[in-house]
Chain A
Amino acid sequence: MNEVAIRLAGVGKSFGTQHVLTNIDLVVRAGEVTCLLGPSGSGKSTLLRCMAFLEEHTTGIIEVAGAPLGFALTPDGGRRRLPDGDIVKVRQNIGMVFQQFNLWPHMTALGNVAEGLRMVRRLGRKDAEARALLQLDKVGLSHRAGHYPSELSGGQQQRVAIARALAMDPKIMLFDEPTSSLDPELTGEVLNVMRDLAADGMTMVVVTHEIGFAATVAQNIVFLDHGKIALEGPAQTIFRRPWHPRLGQFLETYLDRGAAVLVRDT
């Protein structure tokens, strides 16, 4: 078994009286791809955002690369909030890719990728840009380095966003519906970059509606429903026998798009 990259124990999240996540126990292992699936509102995006501490979990403990994220256990079994500096440090293990790309519009593709290298790694402009260019090359976009986000297609923007996250050498990459705002044609180019990344052994947690991607790339599937883990296991077994009624029902909805066929044949 690979080492543990992220461990969640009893994690819950509520907004006021609304419980979005309840009692989530989950282990993400290094070098594996874990896909979070589930219907809209099942809490999968919130769960992913908790792993980057973009949402503060209201109960439980999250450990990233062995270090507690945001909250640590106290001897009496309670939690204490860790200082912001610690959060920044633990977050450095994590790269995040968003549904809306979230490139900074006032910087070129190169500037977006170089920003963290300059501001966080404290590299000089030249060194940072040289490394950023290599990173852009890996996602096939070095020829677009001087373009602003508004001059790039959605697929290109998302690839720049992936390069921006990778430039910081994260141990774990989190993807929050990375292809949901792309048309099918552009989806492919982003999924290909993600496949390459998985093949290189990157630890990845992916919230996606691309069942085909989940079935062919993921080692682990986590199926969420109503803020709880309804089903969890290796991709092979989960998709071969969707005996779980809720998962079966969920996968049925993909029949229309022909993806369920792909899933069954895996």
Chain B
Amino acid sequence: MRFDVGLMLSWIPAALSGLWVTVGVWLTGGIGALLLGLAVAIIRRFGGRILDRGLWACVAVIRDTPFLIQLFLLYYGGPFVGLDLDPYAAGLLGIILYGGAYICEIIGAGFDAVPRGHQEAALCIGLTRLQMVRRILLPEMTLLVLPPVVNMQIILLKETAVLSIVTVPELTMTLTSLGSEHFAFAEALSLLALGYWGLVELASLLGRLAERGFSRYRLAT
């Protein structure tokens, strides 16, 4: 038995179609997670104590259980409570909930990290509270959370591999099934690793470019 590079190369077209599904799920799921995380963080900060506590509990449950189990529950457990989702929908919802829980915590910490004095300065200038939030708090928070949010998006990209267990035909599903078919797991998993490596490097590069673009606005000391 030897490592069959030719076989590996012959899988590239199939791998690419899986790759597109991965990228598609990641982009929609990642953006969805960002929006959900932002919305939950804002509600928790400005929506009063009861909402804050309730949402805190939801976030805790999601953060304290493995993504694999959450996805299983969504897909196989959903129908018991009338939530009958196709694999894509279950996978996407899973990514959005999982990512949203973490991003909400990141953004919450970002709000806390905006110096109080910057907000006081805005009020002293005469800005209303809403103007202060829109013009000072949100932009400064965005600058602060950019690196950890990029990091979270990269984690989400890799977590999309878990979607293979609910039969979403993304990169992992495509290549592991090809591997089983040809009984060539080393080839399949190598190509799989290469695929994720390339994607993550590309995503990191984009993240670094974004951070560099914002570096002029860093907090002055």
Choose one: A104, A148, A152; the contact of B118 (CB below 8 Å).
Answer: A104
CB nearest neighbor in B for A94 = B124
Asked if B120 is an interface residue, CB under 8 A from chain A, the answer is yes
Residue B49 at the A interface, CB < 8 A? no
With A54-B124, A116-B126 already in contact, the answer to whether A102 and B115 are too (CB < 8 A) is yes
B216 surroundings in chain A (CB, below 8 A): 148, 150-151
Judge whether B126 and A91 touch: CB under 8 Å: yes
Chain A residues with Cβ below 8 Å from B143 are: 105-106
A261 at the interface (CB under 8 A from B): no
Q: Is the interface of B mostly helix, strand, loop or mixed?
A: helix
The residues of B that contact A84 with a CB separation of less than 8 Å are 129
Number of interface residues of A (CB under 8 A): 31
Residues 172-231 (chain A) with a chain B CB within 8 angstroms: none
The answer to the question of A95 belonging to the interface, with a C-beta cut-off of 8 Å to chain B, is yes
**CB of A58 within 8 Å of the partner chain:** no
Within 8 Å CB of A152, what residues of B?
Answer: 220
Contact A102 B117 (CB under 8 A): yes
Q: Does B212 contact A (CB under 8 A)?
A: no
A32 interface hit (Cβ, 8 Å) = no
B139 CB within 8 Å of chain A: yes
Q: Considering only CB atoms, which chain B residue lies closest to A167 in the complex? A: B125
Given A105-B140, A148-B216: A164 touches B125 (CB 8 Å cut-off): yes
A-B contact count (CB 8 A): 80
A102 with B140: CB separation less than 8 A: no
Q: Judging by beta carbons under 8 Å apart, are A119 and B127 in contact?
A: yes
Contacting pair A106 B217 (CB below 8 A): yes
Q: Which residues from B are CB-within-8-Å of A161?
A: 121
Per the 8 Å Cβ criterion, residues 110-126 of B in contact with A are: 115, 117-118, 120-126
**Chain B CB within 8 A of A96 CB:** yes
Q: Which residues of A contact B218 (CB under 8 A)?
A: 105, 150
Q: Closest CB of chain A to B114's CB: distance in Å?
A: 10
In the assembled complex, A98 has its CB within 8 A of some CB on chain B: yes
Which chain A residue shows the least CB distance to B118? A102
Q: Closest chain A residue to B139 by CB distance?
A: A106
Q: Does B50 contact A (CB under 8 A)?
A: no
Chain B, 135-149, CB within 8 A of any chain A CB: 135-136, 139-140, 143
With both chains docked as a complex, state the minimum distance between the C-beta of B130 and any C-beta of chain A, in angstroms: 10
Is B167 an interface position by the 8 A CB rule?
no
Say whether, besides A148-B217, A149-B220, A151-B216, A106 and B140 are in contact (CB < 8 Å): yes
* Residue of B whose beta carbon sits closest to that of A113: B125
Q: Is the CB of A105 within 8 A of B127?
A: no
A168 to B123, CA, bound (A): 12
Q: Kindly state whether residue B219 has any CB partner on chain A within 8 Å.
A: yes
- The answer for the CA separation of A168 and B140 in the assembled complex, in Å, is 23
Question: Is the CB–CB distance between A52 and B135 below 8 Å?
Answer: no
Q: Nearest-CB distance from B180 to chain A (Å)?
A: 52
Given known contacts A102-B118, A104-B136, A115-B135, A95 and B220 CB-to-CB distance under 8 angstroms: no
In whole angstroms, what is the CA distance A88 to B123 when docked? 8
Closest to B131 in A: A119
CB of B128 within 8 Å of the partner chain: yes
Q: A88-B128, A105-B118 are known; give 9 further A-B pairs, CB within 8 A.
A: A54-B120, A91-B124, A96-B121, A98-B121, A101-B220, A106-B143, A115-B125, A148-B217, A165-B124
